[in-house]
Amino acid sequence: MKVTVVGAGAVGASCAEYIAIKNFASEVVIVDIKENFAEGKAMDLMQTASLNDFDTKIIGSTNDYSKSAGSDVAVITSGIPRKPGMTREELIGINAGIVKQVSENLIKHSPNVIIIVVSNPMDTMTYLAYKATGLSKNKIIGMGGALDSGRFKYRLAEALEAPLSDIDGMVIGGHSDTGMIPLTRYATRNSVPVSQFLSEERLDEVAQATMVGGATLTKMLGTSAWYAPGAAVSAMVQAIATDSKKIFPCSAYLEGEYGQSDICIGVPCVLGANGIEKIVDIDLNEAEATKFAASADAVRKTNGLLEI
Ligand SMILES: NC(=O)c1ccc[n+]([C@@H]2O[C@H](COP(=O)([O-])OP(=O)(O)OC[C@H]3O[C@@H](n4cnc5c(N)ncnc54)[C@H](O)[C@@H]3O)[C@@H](O)[C@H]2O)c1
Ligand SMILES: O=C(O)C[C@H](O)C(=O)O
Q: Pick the residue whose CA is nearest to atom 7 on ligand 2.
A: 214
Answer whether residue 41 shows pLDDT above 80: yes
Q: Would you say the CB of residue 155 lies under 6 angstroms from ligand 2?
A: no
Establish whether the linkage from the previous residue to 121 is cis, with ω within 30° of 0: yes
Domain final position from 126, 144, 162:
144
CB atoms within 10 A of CB 128: 26
Residue 308 lies in a domain: no
Average model confidence (pLDDT) across the chain: 98
Ligand positioned closest to the Cα atom of 75: 1
**Which residues, 6+ apart, have CB-to-CB distance to 138 below 8 Å?**
114, 274, 275, 276, 277
Residue 10 lies in a domain: yes
Q: Best mutation site among 33, 104, 117, 148 for ligand 1, i.e. most ligand atoms within 8 A of its Cβ?
A: 33
Q: What is the pLDDT of residue 2?
A: 98
Distance 79 CA to ligand 1 centre (A): 4
Residue 266 and residue 234 share a domain: yes
Alpha-carbon distance of 268 to 68, in angstroms, equals: 29
Answer whether residue 308 shows pLDDT above 90: no
Q: Best mutation site among 78, 123, 224, 233 for ligand 2, i.e. most ligand atoms within 8 A of its Cβ?
A: 224
Ligand positioned closest to the Cα atom of 36: 1
Q: Looking at residue 111, which CATH number applies to its domain?
A: 3.40.50.720
Q: 3 in helix, strand or coil?
A: strand
Q: What is the pLDDT of residue 215?
A: 98
Q: DSSP of 142-189, one letter per residue?
A: E-SHHHHHHHHHHHHHHHHT--GGGEE--EEE-SSTTTEEE-GGG-EE
Residue 177 and residue 210 share a domain: yes
What's the mean pLDDT in 117-145?
A: 98
Q: Pick the residue whose CA is nearest to atom 9 on ligand 2.
A: 214
Residue 285 and residue 204 share a domain: yes
Residue 120 and residue 58 share a domain: yes
CB 147 within 8 A of CB 228: yes
Whether the model clears a pTM of 0.95, i.e. scores above it, the answer is yes
In 3D, which of 19, 65, 18, 56 has the Cα closest to residue 38? 65
82 annotated as ligand-binding: yes
Answer whether residue 188 shows pLDDT above 90: yes
**Which residues, 6+ apart, have CB-to-CB distance to 274 below 8 Å?**
114, 138, 139
Dihedral of CA atoms 243, 247, 252, 257 in degrees, nearest 10, equals 120
Residue 106 and residue 18 share a domain: yes
CB 51 within 8 A of CB 28: no
Instruction: List pLDDT tens digits, range 147-180.
Output: 999 999 999 999 999 999 999 999 999 999 999 9
Ligand positioned closest to the Cα atom of 143: 1
End-to-end CA distance of the chain: 32
Instruction: List pLDDT tens digits, range 268-280.
Output: 999 999 999 999 9
What range defines the domain where residue 222 resides? 145-303
Q: Looking at residue 227, which CATH number applies to its domain?
A: 3.90.110.10
Give the chain's domain count. Answer: 2
Residue 156 and residue 123 share a domain: no
Residues marked as catalytic: 175
Domain final position from 92, 112, 144:
144
Residue 96 lies in a domain: yes
State how far Cα 121 lies from the chain centre: 11
What's the mean pLDDT in 78-89?
A: 98
95 annotated as ligand-binding: yes
Q: DSSP of 74-88, one letter per residue?
A: EEE--SPPP-TT--G
Q: What is the pLDDT of residue 246?
A: 98
Q: What is the pLDDT of residue 296?
A: 98
Instruction: List pLDDT tens digits, range 246-270.
Output: 999 999 999 999 999 999 999 999 9
CA distances for 239 relative to 76, 111, 242, 302, angstroms: 17, 21, 5, 29
pLDDT band at 63 (very low <50, low <70, confident <90, very high): very high
Residue 153 and residue 134 share a domain: no
Helical (H) or strand (E) element with 95: helix 92-109
* Bridge partners for 31 per DSSP: 6, 61
Residue 11 and residue 131 share a domain: yes
Alpha-carbon distance of 206 to 157, in angstroms, equals: 10
Domain final position from 85, 115, 144:
144
pLDDT band at 78 (very low <50, low <70, confident <90, very high): very high
Answer whether residue 59 shows pLDDT above 90: yes
Distance 121 CA to ligand 2 centre (A): 9
Residue 130 and residue 197 share a domain: no
pLDDT band at 307 (very low <50, low <70, confident <90, very high): confident
Q: Is the ipTM of this complex over 0.95?
A: yes
